[in-house]
Structure 1
């Protein structure tokens, strides 16, 4: 009975999978953002963030914004595709700059987040989201 309710259509199954992906990725990313938020002064003082085009301070602020605000939007499914863009950029920076010289084991978490956020960008939030409620 539960199987017939949850998986009554391919759309429902896909939307349920997208809900699980959104909530898992978003909540786990929030834990990263919260850690950066708490260590803000230390991150700026140690200059552990890249300052290629922008300053270290701006880089840290953008990473915290992506990992807290954008991740929260992904969890609830609001502005999902738009919210994944800063997260994708942040994970690209993590993979290509911060962990550039590290072995794959050090990069794999950022790669997994990157792939998940790209999938959400492509697929959208699914029908169990704020985006879908607004669309109706």
Structure 2
């Protein structure tokens, strides 16, 4: 079996997945919620009964703070958990009527962040500098 060298490695793929997934989540969901806080607060669903304010705060944490941590590869596996939870709640409780086609963005984000949760951040991350080499 030939060893992969150069930019074509699983670590480079994880870096790409981390940055692309985080950027999409931030751009499409996190930043619009942050920039339009009051409007979002007026119509956000509250499927877990925590109150709209706390629900929105949790969504902002999962859609802004966590993607930034994932992008740089800091506490990566831990940072994917709120994102995955938010996506599952959104897809299964908030929008259960959506077809696969209607919810494809959410399902694809679940795949990206689920893969990162299972695989870790890879070599090109802050996490890799904080843990001893295997």
TM-score computed with the length of structure 2 as normaliser: 0.89
Q: Deviations over 1:48-97 (max 9, x none)?
A: 32242311211111011111000000000000000000000011012112
Look up the match of 1:42.
39
Post-superposition, which runs of at least 4 consecutive aligned residues in structure 1 deviate over 4 A? none
1:84 corresponds to 2:80: yes
2:69 and 2:79 in contact (8 A); partners too = yes
RMSD: 1.4
2:18 and 2:70 in contact (8 A); partners too = yes
Look up the match of 2:70.
74
Structure (1/2) with the larger helix percentage = 1
Provide structure 1 residue ranges, at least 5 long, that are not aligned to the other structure: 8-12
Once residues 27 and 14 of structure 1 are traced to their aligned partners in structure 2, the CA distance between those partners, rounded to angstroms, is 20
Which structure exhibits the higher relative contact order, with contacts defined as CA atoms closer than 8 Å and separated by 6 or more residues?
A: 2
TM-score computed with the length of structure 1 as normaliser: 0.88
Number of equivalences: 128
Provide structure 2 residue ranges, at least 5 long, that are not aligned to the other structure: none
1:119 corresponds to 2:120: no
